[in-house]
Structure 1
Amino acid sequence: MHLRRPHRPRRTALALLAGVLAVTGTVGVGTAVAAPSLPLDGLDEAAASELVPAVTTAAGGALAGIWFEPSSASGPDSTGRLMVGTWDAALAPALSALGATPVVRDEPRRDPSAALRTLTERTATGMPASLAAFGVDERSQQLVVSEVEGAPSSPVAELLGGLDPSAVRIEKVPSAPRLQASIGGGDTITDGSKRCTAGFSATDGSAGWLITAGHCTRGSSTWYAGADQETIGSGARSAGGSTDVGAIPVTGDWTLTPTVSGTTVTGSRSAAVGTSVCLYGSTSGRSCGAVDRKDVTVNFDGQQQSGLTAVATCAKEGDSGGPYITSDGQAQGVHTGAGGTNGCTSYFTPISTALSTLGLSLKTG
């Protein structure tokens, strides 16, 4: 989010654009067979994401994963197919008619959602240091459990006891994820000690609010921006529990603009797994990658955070709160933290969760 300063001495039309003004703040996988269908390689990512609600309804209880499969290198302009897994071959024609490519799974049926619910309950009061994250892989229809390399494996094995082994897959990761507010100065939004990244512009119906990460706003009231460290607002609100979102009230001297790095925010349609989104962080700048998993539970310093989305983007300290957005202006969520190799597995809280938890509406243009 960037600042526009048209006149001095009064700041009557400064633009606070969410996203660029940054704060420094195993088990084997069974086979799946694509059913015969019409050639559907020409869907762009936006069109594929628009199909998701319809194919979800059509597949019903036989749904076994939805993901985008690019026909070439992935990216905001890639085209490909929306793959829809189903346990019922009879549904293939209906899914094809909607524009999707059905994938009939011929292995024994399993329920990764049940494994996800059980593991979420078992880790609700704390997560062992060896357990980095877990979430369902749409493509394999397995609960993927990320275990830190070199850490004792017995705590994770104990947590997985009794779960259907065909529904679970363990993967090794080099390190645990980290929250990414940072301590120090910077020409970004700050509370005087933490740097984070401004997310999206929102409103409560009468006043403007700036959405960012909850671990940034907790314990902080007044926030500043710009080279002159001018006050954005005081009385920041933070979500309760483990939901990592917060919002800063914006004073009348600022004008919230519904843009992210020049892209107008037009809505909040959720991007399908496999499609591209871009993070705009105060430290990393623009970093784009494909959505990997949704409804992921992550271990941040022993605290469980659930309902996050995992993305193949790189992030650094100070990117917390930064916005994720698609190339066609669909807001996705705000950055919480990152892990994996070189911090290139990132996690965000979906914008729908942020808005409902904070009681706000997204500003769109």
Structure 2
Amino acid sequence: MNDMTDGEKGLGENPREIVLRPMAPIVPATNIAGNSLMFVISIMSFLACLTLGAVIMVQDTANSWQSQISREITIQIKPESGMDVDAELAKARDIALSFSGTTGATIVDTAATARLLEPWLGEGLDMEELPVPRLVIITIDETSPPDFAGMRAALDDSVKNAFLDDHRTWVDRLVAMANTTVIIGLCVLALVFIATVLTVIFATRGALSGNHHIVEVLHFVGAEASFVASKFQKHFFMIALKGALAGGLGATIAFAVAGLWANARIATPESDQAMALFGGFSMSAGGYIGALSIVVITAVLTALTTRITVIRTIMEIDLIRSDPTRSI
């Protein structure tokens, strides 16, 4: 009585118990196409994070320029034969300090002037032989700046070859250039996202083509388009998330290496000029938040693109079924 047939043994101790095999996924978990898509998305994410980081860096630098220009002005004195440049510099400094709104004045000595010219003229300059203008840097009160017109008039009357430069003209041009660069960067970022969407559409179409018969059978036996789309959506979401994380991490490492290079070459003329133009090559908190946002946006955008593509493809299948003369 206790003996069981071979068929009953295959069903377990209870002959009526049915052992279900696990259902294979509609989309294979790993394949060559999926790995290629992950690699492409990682590149796109890397470029997007680099672009966003560069945009934030340029914008921060432009804000720094505007902040610095609101705190400092410069008096230039061009030397000439028989002129006591040091005396004229001291006179210009005293005139500037006599105006309300100035908080300090510093005369740039010959050593500092030579160092500023090293990137263009090299080292070992003899400032006595070069008619290089000498500078007086004046710090001003940002909330209550001095009377620049009155200061210019006083310098013209008392100091030889003096020129007051408030830097507004060239800083406005640099800020305009920075804003243009930001706009271009945002356009590049938009193009990267568009390229990512197109890549995902092609990859989804390819996955649907490879599993077309399975999708069609599932749909014809009652599986709704949203159910089939959710399977593809989850698959491509994980691919995009992994690729975007790799790209974002690569961009963060790239900025970290650039920052280390800038710190290693600090106090050199080349580093000073580069940091003056581009900042410290380091990502701020906004840069890290932006990189994380790009990772999330890339993954979500991929999932949404996949879902829409699958649903539209299934709708096309329904149209072909209802009208055989149509073709996808």
TM range (shorter): under 0.3
**TM-score, normalization by structure 1:** 0.25
When normalised by structure 2's length, the TM-score is 0.27
Larger RCO (CA under 8 A, 6+ residues apart) = 2
Higher CA-based Rg: 2
Question: Which structure is higher in strand share?
Answer: 1
Structure with the bigger percentage of helix: 2
